[in-house]
Amino acid sequence: MVGELLAPQLREYLDGLVPERPAEMQAMEAYARQARFPIIGPAAGQFCYLLARMIGARRIFEMGSGYGYSTAWFARAVKENGGGTVFHVVWDEELSARARKHLQALRLDGVIEYRVGEAVSELRETEGPFDLIFNDIDKHGYPASLPVIAGKLRPGGILIVDNMFWQGRIFDRDDRSETTEGVRQLTRMITTEPTWISSIVPIRDGLLVAYRAKDNG
């Protein structure tokens, strides 16, 4: 089974419950549909925004930010929480430039720091701690990223990981690809490690939400 797991009726219902977004965000959504670019979408975006508001997040690090759609949700939360910094991190200069254009138009640019580079290395080199870390890097890199994340996320902070259903590939026992195994391994690591309290929320392609319960030391 490979493809979208949520029934179209359910996906449309959940997206329809999200308050209307600014025109610039709707344009970002339209571009994603046209270009088949994988953004988190309205329902998952609203959920990420909710979590960031609930914990009063002021420092957020995004690992794999695309052209800024998820960044917009996090930046809005940080701005409403009183200000802070959202780190937008991508490999690609063109994506970074596109993100700057969108986020400036949304008047969110003042709380965003842009980085172009490999996300795990950028996180390792950036001073923590962070209140929230969002992980959407290449899936084969998920397991190796977790120790770095654990070292940078404050106790009581939240980790959000995208694509935990991996478009249904995790249910195929014959799929032993590096990417699918990366998702499976991270799932095992974080659901069995006592320093994390976690659950997978079946929105879009599965969002893992993990609360860092205590210091690893």
Whether omega before 129 lies within 30 degrees of 0, making that bond cis, reads yes
Looking at residue 152, the DSSP 8-state letter turns out to be: H
pLDDT for res 215: 60
Instruction: Name residues whose C-beta falls within 8 Å of residue 75's C-beta, 6 or more positions apart in sequence.
Output: 86, 103, 106, 108, 111, 112
Alpha carbons 182 and 171: distance in angstroms, whole number: 14
What single-letter amino acid sits at 108? L
Extents of the domains making up the chain: 8-212
Average pLDDT of the chain to the nearest whole number: 94
pLDDT at res. 130: 98
Closest residue by Cα to residue 209 from 14, 52, 16: 52
- Count of alpha carbons within 13 angstroms of residue 115, beta-carbon side: 21
Q: Which of 93, 53, 111, 54 is closest to 77 using CA atoms?
A: 53
* Spans of the chain below 50 pLDDT: 1, 216-217
Q: Which fold has domain 8-212?
A: Rossmann fold (3.40.50)
Cα distances from 116 to residues 25, 91, 99, 127, in angstroms, run: 22, 5, 12, 17
Residue that has been written with the tokens 């210091």 in this structure? 215
Q: Are 111 and 85 in contact (CB under 8 A)?
A: yes
Residue 187: which region, alpha, beta or left (left: phi > 0; alpha: psi -120 to 50)? Answer: alpha
**Residue among 102, 120, 56 at smallest CA distance from 82:** 56
- Asked if residue 71 lies in contact with residue 112, where contact means CB atoms within 8 angstroms, the answer is yes
Q: How far apart are CA 173 and CA 196, in angstroms?
A: 26
The per-residue pLDDT for 97 is 96
pLDDT tens digits for 84-100?
Answer: 999 999 999 999 999 99
Please give the pLDDT value at position 210. Answer: 98
